[in-house]
Amino acid sequence: MTTLNFITSNKNKLAEVRAILGGVIDVQNEVVDVPEIQGTIEEIAKAKCSHAAKAVGGPVLTEDTALEFLALKGLPGPYIKSFLEALGHEGLNKMLDSFESRGAEAVCTFAFSLGPGSEPILFQGRTEGTIVRPRGAANFGWDPIFEHGGKTYAEMTKEEKNKISHRYKALVKLQQWLAEQQP
């Protein structure tokens, strides 16, 4: 396989995937309206991928990101996008103000399908961190409030983030799997 069709409308995610995988495989992009279902991270990732494969009529790669607060037993998890839209960075912080732990885990799940009817294969990466008051540029989701190694994702250069992020870790697993598929 020399090309992957990454289904996303998020230009930042597309740029990160291309930066991490670009030297190995050609990452194409298509936008497909995928329904947001409720479930576990894995259930959501598989449903999104299956829907995209059916819509495209061929192989696809999809991605779903979650942010799990340890004090809230995993919430907001895969619903972080809705929580962020409703509460903003400060509101997400306020959710943790009455807890001792501000620990969090960033989770990225890529799902690959060979096409309609093919069971999606999951590649998941996790990065532990802490929820902090916003620092850095607010141009990519919850990056300003997720701290790892003393910096928020928003304070890191793209190169720094792409070496340690949950997305990077998931893509390394995908890359290894793709290499194993080569004859």
Q: Is 64 annotated as a binding residue?
A: yes
Query: Is 65 annotated among the ligand-binding residues?
Result: yes
* CA distance linking residue 87 with residue 82, whole number of Å: 8
* Burial label, 136 (beta-carbon count in 10 A; 0-12, 13-18, 19+): middle
Which of 107, 122, 106 has the alpha carbon at shortest distance from 49? 122
Q: Is 143 annotated as a binding residue?
A: yes
Query: Is 51 among the annotated ligand-binding positions?
Result: no
Say whether 177 counts as a known binding-site residue. no
To the question of whether residue 13 is assigned a binding role by annotation, the answer is: yes
Residue 11 counted as an annotated binding residue: yes
Is 81 annotated to bind a ligand? Reply is: no
Three-class secondary structure assignment of 93-122: HHHHCCCCCCEEEEEEEEEEECCCCCCCEE
End-to-end CA distance of the chain: 10
Q: Binding residue per annotation — 94?
A: no
Q: Which two tokens stand for residue 158?
A: 């793209």
142 marked among binding-site residues: yes
What is the C-alpha separation between 81 and 48, in angstroms, rounded?
A: 15
| 117 assigned binding-site residue | no
Look up residue 75 and give its DSSP letter: -
Q: Is 26 labelled as part of a ligand binding site? A: no
140 is in an annotated binding site: yes
54 labelled as ligand-binding? Answer: no
Sequence ranges of the binding site for ITP: 8-13, 48, 64-65, 140-143, 161, 166-167
Sequence ranges of the binding site: 8-13, 36, 48, 64-65, 140-143, 161, 166-167
Sequence ranges of the binding site for Mg(2+): 36, 64
